[in-house]
Structure 1
Amino acid sequence: MILKSVENGPLLWLTVEENRVTRPKKYSELSTTKAIQVDCDVKETNIILQGLPPEVYALVSTHKDAKEL
């Protein structure tokens, strides 16, 4: 699961079009499966970040995508 997130990026939220404006779905609008996936993505990110030394965390926290590193 972690490798998949690194290779493909975090879960992308589905979008909704309202009044000709496209926006990401709110958490409450996600299906049960997607909501569970979002929760797991957040948990795995937190586990990884909590295990890093402060100097490595500082390097990682400035990037949105692991591929940038």
Structure 2
Amino acid sequence: MPFTLADAERILAGAVDPRDGWEGGYAFTDEPEMLAEYVQAVRDGGDPAPFGPYLVRRSADEATIGE
């Protein structure tokens, strides 16, 4: 599933979904600098879709297992 500008802005605003982060406890929600850089890159260069970041989720429980 694509990781979008809206996702990054939502997380930066503090509206975190339990699925935001990686299986095994690594949470990219703990890296606001990375998210802010992504937001700025999209604002500067436009939406990278369909070549932007994607999250790979396990179908059984939707845990993020790759990007």
TM-score by length of 1: 0.28
Larger proportion of strand: 1
Q: What TM-score do the two structures reach when normalised by structure 2? A: 0.29
Per chain length, whose mean CA-contact separation is higher, i.e. which structure has more relative contact order (CA < 8 Å, sep 6+)? 2
Greater CA radius of gyration, 1 or 2? 1
